[in-house]
Structure 1
Amino acid sequence: MAFSGWRGFRPGMQVPMSDELFYLLFLFGFYATTVVTYFALGYGLTWVNGRNPERKIQKGRGSDRRRKAEIRQSLASMFSACLPLTIGLYAQQRGWAPAPWAFSWWTAVPLFVLCMFLYDTWFYFMHRLLHTKWLYPLHALHHKSVAPTIWSTYSEDVLDNLLLQGFSAAIVFVVPFPPAILIGQRLFEHFNGMFGHCGFEYFASSTTRYPSPLLSTTFHDQHHSGFRYNYGNYFSFWDRVLGTISPNYDQRVKTFEQEEPPLVLSQAIHLAEVQEKAD
């Protein structure tokens, strides 16, 4: 049986199983991939952070006391992050949504950028709704992490995360993105979210402040510490247009640019540099 909904991703793919079983396996496989990379990047970046304490954004504020609770919650919320993607792909396969455009390397980049912008739009307005008094009870759990860490990326109510990630299930009825684009965007969002919550700044540059719409880790970190600013995810576009950008975001990034120490990956080298400064 040919899976017509996947044309452009793997043309002519044959699978000796029902649609339902295939997508159920895809859901759990994608969830397993998300969990494995969550821990791999989590421990890896924690190791790097430990060697670069000067890059911590909220200095003097503890951020690890909720780690166990954040990880437990994340294991549930990561499933709800994978579910909308599976629903969207299944809807395409069953013909409930318009047939996806054919995938080609010539159109991959512009389609991916369009998908990012549309997701960022969805995320911004859904995020603002979650900060209203009616929906904030769903979002409050995520904001228990005032100084976020990489472990708090998915530390949120399952329904909260389902609303934020519901883009993948909804967009297929409006824009027929190829499955490869939808999967790529969800993977990018996974890693982007983890770096955005890591609490340490590694990306400060002129490309992450005005007039560029791109963001550094400081952007979302300020959302956790200030609550009423920086609702976007990939871009600062909607925050700037609608006046919800943190007043000191651009200056904070510029300060990091000017004061950011060299990246240290060896503890021995770092200790030698500290000793040299002390002498």
Structure 2
Amino acid sequence: MRTVLEFLAVWAAVYATTFGTYLAFGAIFNWYCFRHPERRIQKNRDGLKRRGKEIRQSAWSLLGTCFCLAGGLYAQYRGWTLFAPLELSWWSVPLMAVVSILAYDTWYYWGHRAMHWGPLYKHHQYHHRSVAPTVWSNYSDSMVDALAMQSYYLVAPLILPIPPLVLVGHRVYDHFNGMIGHSGFEFAASKWTRVPSPMVCTLFHDLHHSKFNYNYANFFSFWDRVCGTLHTDYDEGVERWETLPDGGVPMPRARADKRTPGAVAGPVSATPAE
């Protein structure tokens, strides 16, 4: 019973912190975005029509996300892992941060592609109802979808010697990066977010929502480039945002989408234009 109560306390603390910062940061960043309407990526779609639904769904799905992180941290605390976490040092912190972020991006890419596969897509389709995502869209998932993507935070501590502080730092970075990446406003486009750099900006994930079968990764474009699932307008779009810093950039010119090699088919009709 003591073990259960300890875990519930950790889970509750992680959930309260995550949902609280989701609401606070979302409100602040949303306010900032709407002071810069010229930075909106999809000019003709209003994603905020779904704001209430997305916040309510996020309150539910974050139970699963926070369960995973709390479970990973508690397993480390109880010594239930394959390897003990490394002691914090000048080399272990940056090393394990890089290892964890790269491992997570790989986990996310392949898990995300799997969720676009026909039999599993029913668990992911709710997230794609937000064709024009907003800062509130990041956690608008079904519970199965949330667990599929976020179970990394439960599994990784069991098999990798990630210090708890590094795991928490990774999750904090993922939390805010994901919300900004779903915001629908482009503030980060630069030469560092297009080829040959593997880094990405908001346009990367926004194209995933508007075009569906492209740009599956999270932090980097590496897996999409290697597997042929990077949208062909991404690099060009980033460059246009660079050359027109006032934000006078429409979405890439409409063209017949040609499926890139390795793209996963999905029921595009299941995503209404919101």
TM-score, normalised by the number of residues in structure 1: 0.85
Pick the aligned partner of 1:245 from 218, 230, 235. 230
Give the Å deviation of 1:172. Answer: 2.1
Query: Which segment drifts farther, 85-94 or 181-190?
Result: 85-94
Give the Cα–Cα distance (whole angstroms) in 2 for the partners of residues 83 and 184 of structure 1: 17
Pick the aligned partner of 1:149 from 127, 134, 143. 134
SS at match of 2:118: coil
Q: How does 1:54-203 map to 2 (within 5 A)?
A: 54-98=38-82, 99-203=84-188
Give the Å deviation of 1:114. Answer: 1.2
Give the Å deviation of 1:19. Answer: 4.4
Q: How does 1:185-264 map to 2 (within 5 A)?
A: 185-261=170-246
Q: Residues 10 and 74 of structure 2 are in contact (CA less than 8 Å); yes or no, is this contact kept in structure 1?
A: no
1:24 alignment counterpart: 8
1:275 alignment counterpart: none
1:273 alignment counterpart: none
Give the Å deviation of 1:21. Answer: 2.9
RMSD: 1.4
1:35 alignment counterpart: 19
Q: Which runs of 4+ in 1 moved over 4 A?
A: none
Give the Å deviation of 1:95. Answer: 2.8
Letter paired with 1:194: M
Give the Cα–Cα distance (whole angstroms) in 1 for the partners of residues 155 and 128 of structure 2: 26
Give the Cα–Cα distance (whole angstroms) in 1 for the partners of residues 70 and 106 of structure 2: 21
Ranges in structure 2 where 5+ consecutive residues have no aligned partner = 248-274
Query: Which segment drifts farther, 20-29 or 38-47?
Result: 20-29
Give the Å deviation of 1:96. Answer: 2.5
Letter paired with 2:87: A
Deviation string 1:1-40 (CA, Å, 9 cap, x unpaired) is xxxxxxxxxxxxxxxx944433321211111111111111
Give the Å deviation of 1:135. Answer: 0.5
Deviation string 1:53-104 (CA, Å, 9 cap, x unpaired) is 1100011112111111111101111121111111112222333212212122
Give the Cα–Cα distance (whole angstroms) in 2 for the partners of residues 25 and 158 of structure 1: 21
SS at match of 1:26: helix
Ranges in structure 1 where 5+ consecutive residues have no aligned partner = 1-16, 263-279
Q: Give the number of aligned pairs.
A: 246
Give the Å deviation of 1:46. Answer: 1.2
SS at match of 2:123: helix
Deviation string 1:234-254 (CA, Å, 9 cap, x unpaired) is 011100111100101001001
Letter paired with 2:148: L
